[in-house]
Each structure stands twice: as structure tokens, then as C-alpha cells.
Structure 1
Amino acid sequence: MFSSDIKIHIHGTSFTIHTPSGKINISLPFLGYQNISNVLAATALSFSLKIPLKKIKNGLLATPILSGRLELIELKPHKILINDTYNSNVSSMISAIQVLDKMPGYKILVSGDMSELGKKSVLYHKIIGNTVNLYKIDEILTIGQISYEISKISNNGKHFLDHRQLNKYLKKIFFNKNKITILIKGSRNTRMEKVVEYLIKESKKHVNFVV
């Protein structure tokens, strides 16, 4: 249980952690409410062990970022990728949508299939399609046999038959928007990390990209 004397205020990826001994101002590339809870828990535990605030801050700064788990990648000013391709299920998809909703600029959700959901797989994908309509997301792009159910139900959905078509579309829109956040998600067998790798490569190649 967290100490009631320790509170956290969130400003994007920056945090102000208030303790009885002072406050810690820190910027961390962690997204998602579960990571905020982890930051608060780690601070509360360290504070209870009488660890100085400076050491607590240094410890938080040294926390490794797990690739593919709501990993924030800023390719260019105001052009952000969120790599959440480690895996995908209903709960993690909803969490990712909530994160994207709070991000700046033109917002795109890119989703591959959610695997291993059993006989209700189509239903679960339809639930995600309805869920995404509750948030301020500009486009929902899908690829895969079942993810079509997401884009079909969502208000701003578009389905792609292969990665080549998807990459071409994303490349055009990514470099033509002044401010944009793209969240890429899918189960491991959908290889959505290849989309992340493609956009990173193209960003490095095209310093002043014009379509």
C-alpha cells in the first residue's frame, strides 16, 4: 500500500513526486497508468527505508526501458512513435488506447491481430473497435485476418492487406503532419515491430522528406 504522504502529479512524461521531505521533479519515458503506479510504489518503498531523495531520483532515472512495451520514440520534433509491439490482448490494447488519447498531435492507432483469444476472438476485436470510438483518435489502421473487425467498427478505420501497403501509407502521413503520434501494437506473431523499424529507418533517410 502506498504511503498517503507521498503523492504524484503527472505532466506528460514528467512527474512531480511530493514527499514529507520535499519533492522530486523528474522526466521519464514511461507511459501507461501501470508505470505511474510503479514509480509511486518504488518511491514510497525507498522513502520508507530513509533513502535520500537525490538517490531515489537517480534510481528512477536509471530504470531500464523495456523495448516494445509502450516505448516512446521521438523521431523528429513533434513526431512520435509508441512501440507497444511486445504483445497484445484486450486489456493491454485498452490501456494503449488510453495512452494514445492523451498524446499530442494527429493520433493514429495501428493494430495487428490479438492472438490466442480462443473462440471469442472476433468478439474481442469488435469490442476494441467500439472502445476506440470513445476516444479522440484520428485514424485506426489495421492489418491481419481478425483485426479487420476493429477497423470495420471504428469510426475512422482503414484495413491493409499487407505490410508494404501499410508502411507506404504511414510513411506519407507521418512526414506530412506537423504534429503526430503513432501507436503500433500487435501480438508477437503479427511482426508489428517491423513497422516500427521501417519508420525509424525512413526517418533517418529523409531529413526533409516531402511526398
Structure 2
Amino acid sequence: MNIEQFYPLFLQAEKVTIDSRKINLNDIFFAFSGANFNAATLAEKAISDGALAVIVEDDTFENKDQNVFYVPSTLEFLQNLAIHHRNQLKLPIIGLTGSNGKTTTKELIHAVLSQKYNVQYTYGNLNNHIGVPLTILSIKPEHEMAVIEMGANHQREIELLCTLAKPNLGYITNFGKAHLEGFGGFEGVIKGKSELYNYLKNNRQTILINENDQIQVEKTTDYNSKITFGKRTSDYFFEIFSDEHFVGLDYKNMKALSQLTGDYNFTNLCAAASLGLHFDVDFNQIKEAIQNYTPTNMRSQIVKKEGRTLVLDTYNANPSSMTASLYNFITFEGTKTIVIGDMLELGDDSVAEHQNILKTAHDLGFNEIITVGKHFKTVNDSSKSFENTAELIQYLSSNKIQSENVLLKASRGISLEKAIDFI
């Protein structure tokens, strides 16, 4: 089975899935196998559940009469099918990466552009070598553009994702201290994320630049096909304003207030608004999109609970985002407790970075500091330092937090959101 032969069948499908539990009528199921499980054993059931076709990498399960096809690698076939589909598409694709704020920015861009266009975009956090092909393959004839998030934790990963998505326009949110272990330090982060710039330059595509970010400016100085924001001399200029905990932007005396907290989200709003203006979305529609976007994914999410204000930011954490969250949270009125969990994938920098965050927290003068995770445990000898979230929950069950404001911030692996019901 080759891509050209299979493509007409793909065009008849409703969607492509790698999850056997989510197969619906006329879906295509890619049977990804793990070290201890052969997903090809699910092929017959997938067909009986209504799958249009199944791709397996175990030839003993091939049954062409039932559209069960063998390929040497389900991953390579998925990626090559995505490339072939991308080559047929005539719509613009916006590629997005960065150390912090990728998902929020992606969702804001989608919200803004959807005011005028039918936009497909990365669902959830499907931003890797499997998620990006799945997003590409979800693009239908009715879509007019797409926004594809690209995640990476090592060199050449963004390069690969660019060969799949072939973005016409790209944006790097920022360069921060994330995945230092895999990238080999901060300079490695810059090099790895800049693979998006390399692709766009080599293919004469457009780059969106925040001119307040010196690294972005330096990396694109020699390139002319770009859209800029951030300064009064940029293509688009916005001023920041806030109302209570929420951040907004002011464009030519027209204000749009978001439901996001933190000045760090101002840049995310600017990027979305800039792309909206670039693609001729009226600012009143941009304003509507920004005001109606509600974070529900544990990213900069504010929740009122029993008279307290909770800031939930438990989906990701690294030294850059953690520092920004602490400086934002200290501006809240009233007493403040922070519950901060380990920042993962920092490698040799882990001890120093956790020490720095703990020092920053003490210097800012929060009323109560609670840490969770083995990395924080090594640098915090306080009685309010817990090895995991289960220990934290046990403590909270008999020691209720008294502060009016509570911040929860940690890497996803800490599962800090499980403690919300006990606050």
C-alpha cells in the first residue's frame, strides 16, 4: 500500500484516529503499537465498529478485503499521508512554537481568525510528531486556514514538524528556560525553536515578530517578509491595560479586555490581534473574540471558590513562566498563598533553578509558600514542602489554606490540579 493508492480512501473518511476507543463510522484507525502491546490485534474490532480502514504494521493482520492494510511503519505512513494531504491544500497555514504561551496564543489566534474564516487548529496539546500529522489530516475542504501548534523538547524536532505542516506564516512566542535538558541549555532552546525561522526564511514565507523581544529581532534582522508588533514603529502597536486581575489591549483607543491574568498574556493577545488585522478581521470582531475567550485548560485560569480567588496554571511550568506567574500574583489584593510544584526536564540546571524560584518567592513576601515535588523538596526544608500531590492533599485535608488568593503552578507531571477540591 502506498500513499497515492490510499489517498482516495482517506478523502472518504470522517477522521483519522490512533485511539481505538474513539472510532466512529468511516474513520481511519492507525494501529500504533507500544513496547508491550500490539494494536494490530484491534483491527478486526475497529472494522466492526465502523472504521473505513485500518493501518497496521504487523502483516499477519492484513486483510485487504476488509480494508486492513499493512505498512512497515504506521508512524511514517501517517506522516507521509499528512505531507501528501498538505501538498494538496491551498489554504494558508500558521505555524506556532515557543517556550511559553503556545497553546493560549494558538487558541486566541483561532478565536480571532474564526470571526471571519473557517479555521482548523491543533486540538488540545497535539503538537508533536504524531499530533501535527493528525491536525493536518483533519483539515477539510471547507476550511479556509489552519493554525498548527508545534512543540519540541530537543533539536531538529521543529525542523521535522515544519516539513510536515509547511507553514506559510510562523510565530515564536518566546525563548525561555524550558526543556533545558533535551535542548542542551538555553542557547539550545534558541537554536531549536529558531528552526521555524529557518524553514520560513528558506521557503520565503512570512514571520510574525514581537519587536520587544530582542532575540526575535536579532534572528530576523536580515529578513524582509515579516509582520511586526510591539513598538510604535511596528506594523501594529497595542498598549496594555488591566481591570482587576485581567489584562487587555488598547488599539487606537479601542479596548479589548480578556479573561486572562498576567501581563505575560498581553503579548499573546497582541500576536492574535496582529494576525487578525493582517487578515482583515475588523477590530470590533477581534475585540469580541478576545472578550469571549475563556481559558478552561489550567492555563492562566481564574476561578472563584468559596470566597477565594484561585489562579490555576498547572499545565506547564519552567523557570521563565514560573517567575512571570509569581510577579503577576504578588500584585493581587489581599493575602496570598502560592502552591508551586516541580519544574521538570531541567537537567543539570534543576537544583539552581528551583533554588532561584524559591528565593524569588521569599523575596516577594507571599503570606504562605507551599512546594510540591522532589526537586523542590531538595531545596526547601520547610514543613510545607511535600514530595508529591498526594502528600499535599493529605495535609490540606486537615489544614485549610486561609489566604484570600491562591496560586497553583507546576509542570503537568505533578498533577497539582488534583488538589483544587481540597482548597
Using the size of structure 2 for normalisation, the TM-score is 0.40
Task: After TM superposition, give the deviation of residue 194 of structure 1 in Å.
Answer: 0.5
The within-5 A match list for 1:78-117 is 79-117=308-346
Equivalent residue letter for 2:384: K
SS at match of 1:146: helix
Q: Quick check: which has more Rg, 1 or 2?
A: 2
CA distance in 2 between counterparts of 1:84 and 1:195 reads 13
SS at match of 2:407: strand
Aligned partner (choices 227, 240, 248) of residue 8 of structure 1? 240
Q: Describe the shift of the 1:15–1:130 C-alpha distance in structure 2 as closer, same or farther (beyond 3 A).
A: closer
Q: Which has the higher contact order (CA 8 A, sep 6+)?
A: 1
Counterpart in 2 of 1:209? none
Q: Describe the shift of the 1:24–1:162 C-alpha distance in structure 2 as closer, same or farther (beyond 3 A).
A: closer
Aligned partner (choices 17, 20, 23) of residue 254 of structure 2? 23
Task: Please tell me whether the aligned partners of residues 6 and 44 of structure 1 are also in contact (alpha carbons under 8 angstroms).
Answer: no
Task: Please tell me whether the aligned partners of residues 247 and 263 of structure 2 are also in contact (alpha carbons under 8 angstroms).
Answer: no
The within-5 A match list for 1:23-172 is 23-24=254-255, 26=257, 28-47=258-277, 51-77=281-307, 79-152=308-381, 158-160=384-386, 163=389, 166-167=392-393, 169-170=395-396, 172=399
CA distance in 2 between counterparts of 1:16 and 1:92 reads 19
Task: After TM superposition, give the deviation of residue 140 of structure 1 in Å.
Answer: 0.8
Consecutive unaligned residues in structure 1, runs of 5 or more: 200-211
Counterpart in 1 of 2:414? 190
CA distance in 1 between counterparts of 2:312 and 2:406 reads 9
What are the Cα deviations for residues 70-89 of structure 1, in whole angstroms up to 9, with x where unaligned? 21111134x11111110221
Equivalent residue letter for 1:85: T
Counterpart in 2 of 1:181? 405
Q: Describe the shift of the 1:89–1:61 C-alpha distance in structure 2 as closer, same or farther (beyond 3 A).
A: same
Q: Describe the shift of the 1:25–1:76 C-alpha distance in structure 2 as closer, same or farther (beyond 3 A).
A: farther
Equivalent residue letter for 1:9: F
Equivalent residue letter for 1:188: R
Identity of aligned residues (%): 26
Task: After TM superposition, give the deviation of residue 162 of structure 1 in Å.
Answer: 5.4
Which shows bigger deviation, 187-196 or 50-59? 50-59
Q: Describe the shift of the 1:164–1:35 C-alpha distance in structure 2 as closer, same or farther (beyond 3 A).
A: same
CA distance in 2 between counterparts of 1:25 and 1:87 reads 26
Q: Describe the shift of the 1:148–1:16 C-alpha distance in structure 2 as closer, same or farther (beyond 3 A).
A: closer
SS at match of 1:105: coil
Task: After TM superposition, give the deviation of residue 191 of structure 1 in Å.
Answer: 1.5
Task: Please tell me whether the aligned partners of residues 144 and 161 of structure 1 are also in contact (alpha carbons under 8 angstroms).
Answer: yes
What are the Cα deviations for residues 182-207 of structure 1, in whole angstroms up to 9, with x where unaligned? 111222222211012433xxxxxxxx
How many aligned residue pairs are there? 190
CA RMSD of aligned residues (A): 2.8
SS at match of 1:42: helix
SS at match of 1:41: helix
CA distance in 2 between counterparts of 1:58 and 1:169 reads 43
Task: Please tell me whether the aligned partners of residues 396 and 422 of structure 2 are also in contact (alpha carbons under 8 angstroms).
Answer: no
CA distance in 2 between counterparts of 1:138 and 1:81 reads 15
CA distance in 2 between counterparts of 1:66 and 1:101 reads 22
Task: After TM superposition, give the deviation of residue 181 of structure 1 in Å.
Answer: 1.0
CA distance in 1 between counterparts of 2:250 and 2:410 reads 36
Task: After TM superposition, give the deviation of residue 120 of structure 1 in Å.
Answer: 2.9
Consecutive unaligned residues in structure 2, runs of 5 or more: 1-227
CA distance in 2 between counterparts of 1:145 and 1:16 reads 37
CA distance in 1 between counterparts of 2:353 and 2:304 reads 31
Q: Describe the shift of the 1:44–1:7 C-alpha distance in structure 2 as closer, same or farther (beyond 3 A).
A: farther
CA distance in 2 between counterparts of 1:150 and 1:138 reads 19
SS at match of 1:108: strand
Task: After TM superposition, give the deviation of residue 123 of structure 1 in Å.
Answer: 1.8
Q: Describe the shift of the 1:147–1:63 C-alpha distance in structure 2 as closer, same or farther (beyond 3 A).
A: same
Task: Please tell me whether the aligned partners of residues 260 and 300 of structure 2 are also in contact (alpha carbons under 8 angstroms).
Answer: yes
